[in-house]
């Protein structure tokens, strides 16, 4: 009788242990550079909410906005090493190890939004090779986040011509975009997105490049008063990453839930982007001198950018050449 009780007790204990293990909660932290109110932040939170709901809380997703944990330059290494489970980074932050990612920052390579959509579509001849290269670093791309076109910020003087960049210190977010700045006679300076406000406020640089939505959400209009918008200069793309070992440690069902949520929020954001940029332009129009360049003024900018394509190919090698050919076909 006693042995049967012991056996029953052990069986119940084993069941409790199994149930607890099977339903153990995992916490997934996501580091984000931008404020939670920015469209990338809202996009991430929507993903987090869906994952927590669909997994019945087995996956607890915590979002840390405004570079609380890591600067944007630190995110790829933090995710690849497993220091954090997930992170959001500008695509160009992989340029040190994968120079080909700077394709999207070759000025005026993509002529319009339709071409960009084809390039960033899952499985496209441009996106898939880049996702594959990033995976080799230990970070898996879950989805791409549309950030919008780049604009110039300055004080008092609009940048209508490349000549207006001569002798100016310019904040850039990619080496390839910096090549165009230097070709115009400017000095390109890489500054983290979260450090822009202070850099403009202190006069560390004279000119900035960023997305118009960041001008609103980072309140850059408080330290810069002029915005120049060259159409389709560069398309800014961000990627949402998960440490691959963390990914492999998830159940098949959890992976399916994450994949479905990522697909949904990527498609939603891409379809909203033109409207979000229009809203941001409406907002800053009341606070800054906003200049839209004419087609005649754009001729000199496009001519300035032409040699940058060859420089990109030299830096990015065979993969870069392959991606440029694919981009031109779009």
Residue 264 contacts residue 163 (beta carbons within 8 Å) = no
Any domain includes 20: no
pTM of the model: 0.84
Structural domains of the chain, count: 1
What tens digit of pLDDT does each residue of 151-183 get?
A: 999 999 999 999 999 999 999 999 999 999 999
Residue 224 contacts residue 156 (beta carbons within 8 Å) = no
Helix (H, G, I), strand (E, B) or coil at 88: strand
Domain ranges, residue 215: 25-329
Position 296 pLDDT exceeds 90: yes
Lowest mean pLDDT among 10-19, 101-110, 129-138: 10-19
Q: What is the CATH number of the domain that holds 301?
A: 3.40.190.170
Provide the b/e sequence for 100-128 (b: ≥16 CB within 10 Å): bbbbbbbbbbbeeeebbbbbbeeebbbbe
Residue 131 contacts residue 237 (beta carbons within 8 Å) = no
- pLDDT for 7 equals 40
Any domain includes 18: no
Mean pLDDT of 321-327: 96
Any domain includes 84: yes
Any domain includes 269: yes
Position 124 pLDDT exceeds 90: yes
DSSP state letter for 93: G
Structure token digits, residue 304: 């300035």
Ramachandran category for residue 140: left, alpha or beta (phi over 0 → left; psi -120 to 50 → alpha): beta
Confidence of residue 10 (pLDDT cuts 50, 70, 90): very low
Any domain includes 30: yes
- pLDDT for 15 equals 34
- pLDDT for 232 equals 86
CA angle 44, 49, 50 (to 5 degrees): 100
Any domain includes 309: yes
Lowest mean pLDDT among 7-16, 47-56, 64-73, 310-319: 7-16
- Chain centroid to Cα 105, Å, comes to 12
- pLDDT for 330 equals 83
Any domain includes 240: yes
Confidence of residue 111 (pLDDT cuts 50, 70, 90): confident
Helix (H, G, I), strand (E, B) or coil at 148: strand
Any domain includes 59: yes
Position 16 pLDDT exceeds 50: no
- pLDDT for 143 equals 98
Residue 196 contacts residue 72 (beta carbons within 8 Å) = no
């Amino acid at each position: 009788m006693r042995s049967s009780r012991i056996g029953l007790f052990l069986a119940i204990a084993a069941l409790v242990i199994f149930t607890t293990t099977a339903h153990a909660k995992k916490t997934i932290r996501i580091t984000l550079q931008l404020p939670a109110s920015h469209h990338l932040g809202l996009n991430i939170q929507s993903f987090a909410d869906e994952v927590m709901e669909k997994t019945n809380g087995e996956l607890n997703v915590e979002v840390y906005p405004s570079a609380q944990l890591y600067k944007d330059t630190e995110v790829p290494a933090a995710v690849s090493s497993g220091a954090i489970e997930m992170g959001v980074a500008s695509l160009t932050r992989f340029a040190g190890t994968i120079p080909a990612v700077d394709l999207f920052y070759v000025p005026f390579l993509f002529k319009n939004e339709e071409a960009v959509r084809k390039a960033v579509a899952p499985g496209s001849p441009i996106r898939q090779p880049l996702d594959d290269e990033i995976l080799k670093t230990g970070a898996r791309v879950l989805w791409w986040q549309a950030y919008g076109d780049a604009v110039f910020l300055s004080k008092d003087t609009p940048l209508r011509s490349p000549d207006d960049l001569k002798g100016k210190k310019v904040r850039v977010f990619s080496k390839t975009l910096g090549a165009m700045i230097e070709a115009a006679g400017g000095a390109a300076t890489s500054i983290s997105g979260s450090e822009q406000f202070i850099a403009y406020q202190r006069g560390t640089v004279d000119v900035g490049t960023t997305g118009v939505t960041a001008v609103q959400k980072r309140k850059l209009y408080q330290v810069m008063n002029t915005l120049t918008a060259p159409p389709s200069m560069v398309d800014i793309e961000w990627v949402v990453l998960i440490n691959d070992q963390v990914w492999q440690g998830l159940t098949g069902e959890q992976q399916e839930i994450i994949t479905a949520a990522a697909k949904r929020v990527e498609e939603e954001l891409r379809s909203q982007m033109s409207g979000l940029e229009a809203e941001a332009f409406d907002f800053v129009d009341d606070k800054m001198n906003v200049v839209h360049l004419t087609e005649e003024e754009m001729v000199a900018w496009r001519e300035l950018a032409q040699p940058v394509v060859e420089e990109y190919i030299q830096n990015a090698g065979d993969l870069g050449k392959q991606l440029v050919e694919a981009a031109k076909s779009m």
